[in-house]
Structure 1
Amino acid sequence: MDRTEKRSAREVLDDHLKESQTGSVEADLARNYAEDVVVLMRGEAHHGHEGVRGLARLLRQELPDASFEYGSCVVASEFGFLEWSGRGGQAYVKDGADSYVIREGKIVAQTIHYTVQRSSAS
């Protein structure tokens, strides 16, 4: 058993959130996501590391050069839930909500919900 398998769900989620802030998708995938992860978003299932990469690209397109704020983050056993907001380019998100299933030190399933809204011109 390697060190990542011994991490608690809280440790995995905290590391994932740190990597999300720095924009290091590859480091996040290597340390925190199972290779066969399933992510559910907008009525579709996205599979594996390539699926996560695609969703990260989508978020960067929707919120270029984004900054994120994390609200409530709850972990119970192998389950995690995060509320978040973000702003980038001419858009923002105020209703971000992600849920996680974390087993053996890796995220094995995730749901993602957010609504992109356009900032009004100043």
Structure 2
Amino acid sequence: MTRTPQEVFADHGRRLGTGDLDHIAGNYTEDTVLITPRGAFHGHDGVRQVIGRLLADLADADWQLTPGFAGDVLLLRWNAATTEHEVTDGVDTFVFRDGLISAQTVHYTLNHRTA
């Protein structure tokens, strides 16, 4: 049985928490595409690059997520904060296919936190 987008997204969150990029990539199709302001990244190598940078930028962050599902598409608005950095404008879009993530857009502005 194929997982719902909600189930995939919940599992994605658990996998992100491990920091294991290979484990995270397992929730994406082989032909996935991730589009960021830095360009398009393809396949599991692309997942490792994009998600690896996100996790490095926001190591041990506190996250606030606002998901909005419509069929096989998710619009995710998010904020995150670490002791040194914060993001207040995070927006991702996910497209799901056959129980996996087949496409994702990622956009956020990393700011230094002020005291």
In the TM superposition, residue 66 of structure 1 has moved relative to its aligned partner by 2.4
Q: 1:91 to 1:81 in 2, by over 3 A?
A: same
TM-score (ref. length: structure 1): 0.84
Aligned length: 115
The answer for the alignment partner of 1:100 in structure 2 is 94
Q: Do structure 1's residue 26 and structure 2's residue 22 form an aligned pair? A: yes
Deviation at 1:42, TM superposition (A): 0.6
C-alpha displacement at 1:89, in angstroms? Answer: 4.3
CA pair 63-89 structure 1, distance change in 2 beyond 3 A:
farther
Matched with 2:68 is 74
Distance of aligned partners of 1:89 and 1:63 in 2 relative to their CA distance in 1, 3 Å threshold? farther
Give the secondary structure class of the aligned counterpart of 2:12. Answer: helix
CA distance in 1, matches of 2:59, 2:81: 8
Q: CA deviation at 1:13?
A: 1.4
1:9 equivalenced with 2:15 (yes/no) = no
Identity in percent? 35
Contact 2:79–2:87, Cα closer than 8 Å, also in 1: yes
TM-score (norm 2): 0.88
- Is 1:87 matched up with 2:81? yes
Where does structure 2 lack aligned partners over 5 or more consecutive residues? none
Alignment partner of 1:115: what SS?
Answer: coil
Amino acid corresponding to residue 16 of structure 2 in structure 1: S
CA drift of 1:52 comes to: 1.0
Following superposition, the deviation at residue 59 of structure 1 comes to 1.6
In structure 2, the residue matched to 1:36 is 31
Cross-structure match for 1:53: 48
Displacement after TM superposition at 1:109 (Å)? 0.4
Counting helix residues as a fraction of each chain, which structure ranks higher?
A: 1
Distance 1:36 1:10 in 2: 21
Cα deviation, residue 43, structure 1: 4.5
Query: Matches of 2:24 and 2:59 in 1, distance apart?
Result: 19
Asked if structure 2 preserves the Cα contact closer than 8 Å seen for 1:63 and 1:89, the reply is: no
* CA RMSD in angstroms, aligned pairs only: 1.6
